[in-house]
Amino acid sequence: MNKDFELDQDGDLFFINGDFSLAPSDQRHVEHILESVKGEFKQHPTLGFGIVNYLKTNVSEAEFIRDLKVQLEQDNYKNCKIDLINGQLKIDV
């Protein structure tokens, strides 16, 4: 389990007693990969799934899941379980 600076609901840094708060960050990392498009992470220009772009296309469910797994593996999330059932996306890292 990765830890990183905790963010509040608005995406701003969360402080406790005037200091940065650390929290498990795997879910947040997955959310960032889902929402970002390739090129947004300057140190990793090929990382980014860009889910909004997939919503506008007619890709198959298998292709969608495969592309998402490839992106998650770039951030060392190996063997993720991804389910897409009735339009609901569930990712287990």
Q: Where are the domains of the chain?
A: 26-92
Neighbouring C-beta atoms of residue 40, cutoff 10 Å: 14
Can you list the positions of beta strands (E) in 1-93?
Answer: 3-5, 15-16, 19-20, 22-24, 81-85, 88-92
* Per-residue model confidence (pLDDT) at position 18: 92
Sorting pLDDT into bands at 50, 70 and 90, what band is 54?
confident
Sorting pLDDT into bands at 50, 70 and 90, what band is 31?
very high
Radius of gyration of the chain, Cα coordinates, nearest whole angstrom: 15
